[in-house]
Amino acid sequence: MISPQAALIVVDVQPDFMPGGTLACHQGDAIVPGIDALLRRQAFRHVVATQDWHPREHTSFVDAHPGLAPFAQIRLYGQPQTLWPAHCVQGTPGAVLHPAIDWSPLDLILRKGSDARVDSYSGFRENVGPQGDRPDTGLAGWLRGRGVDEVFVCGLARDVCVLWTAQDAAALGFRTHLLWDLSRPVTPSGDAPTRAALDAGGIGIVDSAALAG
């Protein structure tokens, strides 16, 4: 039984993260039917979708760093930063929420990564920025204002934005679970470190079938 105080957070299910997209996740399209089915069940009182929404000249894009290759690692504001292929550029078809999902149950669409200077993996806080902090997106307050104390997280990518969202949720005091079957990594090599990080953070790993009934 899903608690009335639980919310579903669907992270970055957008065409650019699907096979054929500019930053394709491994089997990213495989989660689309399951997420659509879960939303259609209306099992959660509150449903949030995050949406990567980058300006074209975003500092995390490899194009902003001539001479470096996609997925190169640099230091940005004193922290590791992966240089990604340009993706989810504002207003482009690759940035929309996936059209094969019925998004009508959503309470909130939270766009992130819109500051060209700062990457933004988590739905709760941006990455470290020029001031050395991680600015709050307002999601935690929005959830608490609706009595939410438990979250289930799914989407893309399991080893980046989904993981960071789950870690921040747990650190902020929400009982947190990651829906493993409704998430996919950038590459499968990310799965073992992701499981270890979830375990270290006290975050549950569950499959969507456990939500039935």
DSSP β-bridge partners for residue 11: 50, 155
Which of 25, 88, 154, 161 is flagged as catalytic?
161
* Annotation marks residue 112 as catalytic: yes
- Within 8 A by CB and 6+ apart from 66, the residues are none
Instruction: Check the CA dihedral 132-145-156-115 and report its sign.
Output: negative
Are the C-beta atoms of residues 163 and 19 closer than 8 Å to each other? no
Which of 12, 119, 159, 168 is flagged as catalytic?
12
Q: Which two tokens stand for residue 75?
A: 């230091």
Residue at token pair 């929005």: 142
Which of 16, 25, 88, 112 is flagged as catalytic?
112
* Annotation marks residue 154 as catalytic: no
User: For the chain, how big is the Rg over CA atoms in Å?
Assistant: 16
* Annotation marks residue 161 as catalytic: yes
d(CA 57, CA 117): 9
Are the C-beta atoms of residues 5 and 71 closer than 8 Å to each other? no
- Give the active site residues: 12, 112, 161
